[in-house]
Amino acid sequence: MRRTVQRALVILFASAALGLAFNAVSPRSIRYVTPPKAVLQPKDTVTLDEAHRLWGDGTTFFLDARAPADYAAGHIANALSLPAEDFDEHYPQVAQMLTTDTAIVAYCDGTECELSHELTEKLREHGYTNIRILMNGWTSWHKAGYPTDTGKQP
Amino acid sequence: MKLIELLVRLVVGGVFVVAGALKILHPTAFVNDIANYRLMPHDLINMLAITLPWVEVVAGGLLIAGIWKRANALLITFLMIVFLVAIGQALYRGLDIRCGCFGTVEARRVSALALAEDAALLGMSLWLFWRVRD
């Protein structure tokens, strides 16, 4: 039994080391210590009701910050996919449809989700000024029974 | 019986290799999935997202390959207990979150079904731990 536990620990630490090494060279590497949570001002967010109203007006672009597979599985109707994780790859396609003063609502999924914050930061670096976040976006929108869609971005 | 053991190793190991590999593909999404469970201290979430998928892939791969089977069955059993607790507490607290069990390919939420699947895998890994000898 003792030998088994020792071996299990060897596997545990060796694979953890592999993960650390891989993260050091991966193009999708993340920070070792989780960055502090973004502190959001009320002006940086929209409520679900407000988001739904903006959606109905048709003048606000909804951007889905999650991975493309999540977007394909279900997203807010008419939302565009712009994954925070692969921003540089997807940005040029989406940028054609936006100007820097376009009204944007960014969302991801879950109350602890930081992807929409990351996306917002990246867009601000590109000069966008009118972005707000819908917290717990996908889940709250979906639960409210508001219009959704499935499938990849054309 | 040897054949059953091989089959169980293939199933358990296969699930772990696939689940781990899919998480490695999208580390940021996995960070979010972990955060949504509201279990981990915030600072440590990234570290877990970096290392855990590799433990899954290596332990699953070695189990399939038949190297240190018992040690890998023990490690997988331990992980399955952790996953069960994570999903169980999310259900108990009424968190409506994505499972994150298989990275981003499944949009599945935490559910009684996910809990049952985990329990089945835990049963299989326990059985392997009890049965195999290195």
Q: pLDDT of A35-49, one tens digit each?
A: 888 777 888 999 999
* Alpha-carbon separation of residue B88 from A115, B36, B99 (angstroms): 25, 14, 11
What is residue B109's predicted lDDT score, i.e. its pLDDT? 85
Closest CA in chain A for residue B52:
A16
Is B131's Cβ below 8 Å from some Cβ in A? no
The mean pLDDT of B4-24, rounded to a whole number, is 96
Residue B15 in this model has a pLDDT that exceeds 80: yes
* Alpha-carbon separation of residue B121 from A144, B1, B102, B127, B128 (angstroms): 34, 18, 14, 10, 11
Interface probe, candidates A1, A2, A4, A20, chain B, greatest B C-beta count within 10 A? A4
In this complex, the residue of A7, A11, A85 whose CB is nearest that of residue B28 is A85
State in Å, rounded, how far the first CA of chain A is from the last one.
56
User: Which helix H or strand E contains B12, and what residues bound it?
Assistant: helix B2-25
- For A107, phi and psi rounded to 5 degrees? -150, 160
What is residue A150's predicted lDDT score, i.e. its pLDDT? 94
What is residue A154's predicted lDDT score, i.e. its pLDDT? 73
Give the C-alpha separation, A118 to A35, whole Å.
11
User: Are A19 and B54 within 8 A, CB to CB?
Assistant: yes
Please tell me the total count of domains within chain B. Answer: 1
Positions in chain A short of pLDDT 70: none
What is residue A39's predicted lDDT score, i.e. its pLDDT? 77
User: Are B96 and A12 within 8 A, CB to CB?
Assistant: no
User: Are A70 and B29 within 8 A, CB to CB?
Assistant: yes
What is residue B133's predicted lDDT score, i.e. its pLDDT? 86
Q: How many A×B Cβ pairs under 8 Å?
A: 130
- For A150, phi and psi rounded to 5 degrees? -125, 170
User: Are A19 and B50 within 8 A, CB to CB?
Assistant: yes
Give the length of chain A: 154
Query: A61-79: string of b/e by CB count within 10 Å (b at 16+)?
Result: bbbbbbbbbbbbbbbbeeb
User: In terms of pTM, does the model score above 0.95?
Assistant: no
The per-residue pLDDT of chain B, averaged, comes to 93
Give me the residue spans of the domains in chain A. Answer: 1-33, 42-149
In this complex, the residue of A5, A114, A143 whose CB is nearest that of residue B32 is A114
ipTM for the complex shown: 0.92
Residue B80 in this model has a pLDDT that exceeds 90: yes
On whether the CB atoms of residues A44 and A121 are closer than 8 A, the answer is no
Residue B105 in this model has a pLDDT that exceeds 80: no
Tell me the percentage of chain A whose pLDDT exceeds 70.
Answer: 100
CATH number of A42-149: 3.40.250.10
**Residue A22 C-alpha, separation from nearest chain B C-alpha, in angstroms:** 8
Give the C-alpha separation, B115 to B108, whole Å.
12
**Residue A28 C-alpha, separation from nearest chain B C-alpha, in angstroms:** 7
Residue B72 in this model has a pLDDT that exceeds 80: yes
Please give the structure tokens belonging to residue B35. Answer: 């955060």
What is residue A26's predicted lDDT score, i.e. its pLDDT? 93
In this complex, the residue of A20, A29, A115 whose CB is nearest that of residue B51 is A20
pLDDT in tens, B53-68: 999 999 999 999 999 9
Domain with B62, as residue range(s), is 2-131
Give the C-alpha separation, A61 to A54, whole Å.
9
What is residue B115's predicted lDDT score, i.e. its pLDDT? 93
* Least confident residue range of A40-44, B7-11, B37-41: A40-44
User: Are A115 and B42 within 8 A, CB to CB?
Assistant: no
User: Which helix H or strand E contains A131, and what residues bound it?
Assistant: strand A131-134
Is B89's Cβ below 8 Å from some Cβ in A? no
Alpha-helical regions (H) of B26-111: 27-37, 45-65, 69-92
Please give the structure tokens belonging to residue A115. Answer: 């992807």
The mean pLDDT of B117-123, rounded to a whole number, is 96
User: Are B32 and A118 within 8 A, CB to CB?
Assistant: no
What is residue B34's predicted lDDT score, i.e. its pLDDT? 94
- For A96, phi and psi rounded to 5 degrees? -60, -25
